Amino acid sequence: MPDPLHGEGVAIRYPFAATDAVGPLSLHIARGERVLLLGPSGCGKSTLLHSLTGLIPQAIPAERRGTLRLFGQEVQTRSPADWADRVAILFQDADQTLAGFTVADELAFALENRSLPPDLIAARVTQAIGRAGLAPDWATRRIATLSGGQKQRVALAAVLAQDADLVIADEPTASLAPAAAQMMADLLLAPGQTILIVDHRLGPILHHIDRVIVLGANGQVLVSGPPAEVFAQQGDRLTQMGIWTPLATRLRLALARQGIPVPPVTAVSDILPHLPPSADLAPLLLPRPVPPGPEVVRLQDAACAPPFGPTVLRGISIALRGGEVLGLLGPNGAGKSTLATCLSGLLPPREGVRTGPAGAIAFQNPESHFRADTALAELTAAGVAPDKAAGVLAEWGLSQVAQQHPFTLSIGQKRRLALALLTATDRWPLLILDEPTSGLDHAGAETIARHIRRLAAKGTALVVITHDADFALSVCDRVALLAEGAIQADGPAPGILRGSALLHRFGLAPAEAAPLLDWMDRP
């Protein structure tokens, strides 16, 4: 029986590009194999996924070379729509790619396109709703009323309903709270499923993965093999290349630099037996403390609401000092972005008081900040003197794209440019970053973390909205947990991020490094 996917010498080049976006490379996936595709930002992972059923070049203009077979048949002999009977695709921006009007419409869509009998479709839809953990009454809910995370769960349920022989998933857990991300990973990567998945969040998925394929920055295969083997043998190299590796791998390498040898492990708890009592883990896990400055902003008994929307948060009392970094965690739809607009002063609270100067928000979609034709012009439009703009770009590692249109930059570059615009003039004593690491590779996330701490050292008060507890642990001094319309906890990051009972109650998960925090606090 032929492999579900087999490609030889596959390379893709976009029109007018001087080099290939990805490849040439060879890849194959055997039946029942669960393969993780890793690589730095911009190495062509999504491009490769789009080519697998012929969306490239049939729907997205590009040139594909090499041979690509699905289930033994040349991909181009059928249209991308024809392949939907055997291949299900879960897109990166699931919330923008749903077709139906209601949840049931969406789940039935691909099956209706195959002209399956209505009774069979109804049965599959009911089954998929159950498997995806959605309440039965979700079937009649309108897609437009769902939050981004809820839409992503519906997209997953639609893939389950499709019951395809091969699933292709592009960052399926990117915007999900930890509990939802774990559930999605468990369902998508159940044993027996044949899947090719791209994801930067390794925690929820890695224990399900049979094989990892790592692409280099040039879009060619760097290494391929079982995860434990790849990360044990190549972990150092991959981390240096800015590719996500398991936290245990990164910690093992950092400990090695301190002269503490630890054998290859993929779970953080496996590091513990190898730690000498004198090991100093604080520099590896926690931010360097900055003496707190005067209070910058305070919300007192505030009720917050989105523009024209109902009040979603009540009784919010929170204050932030200069140089302090506050992590804001909470389940999908908890009102984190609403609190951000209230804290920044963009929208006044419906009740209560806000004191302090206005702050700025770096939105989750950095494109919202752009209005000029080049990265350099964005800075001058933001009030940076022309002779200083080049220096600011260099500081954020954007010199080489100074003359590029902001919309053509990679996601990491866009995030850095948006932050550069907000921080270049020292205009904002308060800065709120909404999911700053979403979609970034390890190098991109490290860069953002470094700049967060640099800004804190300069006295800026920062709020970081994130689902990534380990990122929060590494940059935040304090963490506030937002759920059910109120702040449920507010305190030092290490204390809250290992309080598993409280976190689990709201669909969150403790930091992966929690066992190491416990080790640090041992008597």
- Residues in touch with other proteins (CB under 8 A): 53, 55, 59-60, 79-82, 84-85, 89, 91, 93, 96-102, 104-105, 108-118, 121-122, 125, 142-144, 158, 162, 306-307, 341, 344-348, 358, 360-361, 363, 365, 368-369, 371, 382, 421-422, 427
> Cα dist. 229→217, 224, 240, 389, 442 in Å?
21, 9, 17, 45, 20
Amino acid at 340: A
Distance of CA 153 to the CA centre of its chain: 15
What are the helix (H) ranges across 135-261? 148-162, 178-188, 227-240, 247-257
CB-nearer residue toward other proteins: 80 or 327: 80
Q: How far is the CB of 75 from other proteins (least distance, A)?
A: 13
Q: How far is the CB of 332 from other proteins (least distance, A)?
A: 15
Q: CB under 8 Å to 508, separation ≥6 — which residues?
A: 177, 178, 179, 329, 330, 331, 467, 469, 481
Q: How far is the CB of 31 from other proteins (least distance, A)?
A: 21
For the beta sheet containing 87-90, the strands, ordered from the edge strand earlier in sequence to the opposite edge, are 87-90, 166-170, 195-198, 34-38, 211-215, 221-225
CB 489: neighbour CB atoms within 10 A?
16
**What kind and span of H or E run contains 494?**
helix 493-496
Q: How far is the CB of 58 from other proteins (least distance, A)?
A: 8
CB-nearer residue toward other proteins: 176 or 422: 422
Q: Before 57, cis peptide (omega within 30)? A: yes
287 closest CA partner among 256, 248, 327: 327
CB 85 within 8 A of CB 63: no
CB-nearer residue toward other proteins: 174 or 281: 174
Q: How far is the CB of 429 from other proteins (least distance, A)?
A: 12
Please report the DSSP string for 75-140 in residue order.
Answer: GGGS-TTGGGGTEEEE-TTGGG----SBHHHHHHHHHHHTT--HHHHHHHHHHHHHHTT--GGGGG
CB-nearer residue toward other proteins: 109 or 519: 109
Q: Helix 148-162 crosses helix 118-131 at what angle (to 10 degrees)?
A: 130
The residue written with tokens 């929820």 in the block is 204
Q: How far is the CB of 43 from other proteins (least distance, A)?
A: 21
CB-nearer residue toward other proteins: 79 or 269: 79
92 closest CA partner among 213, 15, 201, 193: 201
Q: Buried (b) or exposed (e) across 214-244, using 16+ Cβ within 10 A?
A: bbbbebbbbbbeebbebbbebbeebbebbbb
Q: How far is the CB of 345 from other proteins (least distance, A)?
A: 6
CB 10 within 8 A of CB 54: no
Q: CB under 8 Å to 168, separation ≥6 — which residues?
A: 49, 52, 53, 87, 88, 89, 90, 195, 196, 197
Amino acid at 261: P
CB-nearer residue toward other proteins: 249 or 341: 341
CB 28 within 8 A of CB 210: no
CB-nearer residue toward other proteins: 84 or 281: 84
Q: How far is the CB of 91 from other proteins (least distance, A)?
A: 6
CA dihedral 287, 437, 447, 20 (to 10 degrees): 160
Q: CB under 8 Å to 36, separation ≥6 — which residues?
A: 197, 198, 199, 202, 205, 206, 209, 211, 212, 213, 227
Q: How far is the CB of 248 from other proteins (least distance, A)?
A: 36
CB-nearer residue toward other proteins: 125 or 214: 125
Q: How far is the CB of 29 from other proteins (least distance, A)?
A: 18
CB-nearer residue toward other proteins: 157 or 514: 157
CB-nearer residue toward other proteins: 283 or 386: 386
Q: How far is the CB of 349 from other proteins (least distance, A)?
A: 12
CB-nearer residue toward other proteins: 167 or 517: 167
Q: How far is the CB of 298 from other proteins (least distance, A)?
A: 17
CB-nearer residue toward other proteins: 146 or 493: 146
CB-nearer residue toward other proteins: 96 or 278: 96
- Distance between CA atoms of residues 246 and 231, nearest Å: 8
Q: How far is the CB of 363 from other proteins (least distance, A)?
A: 6
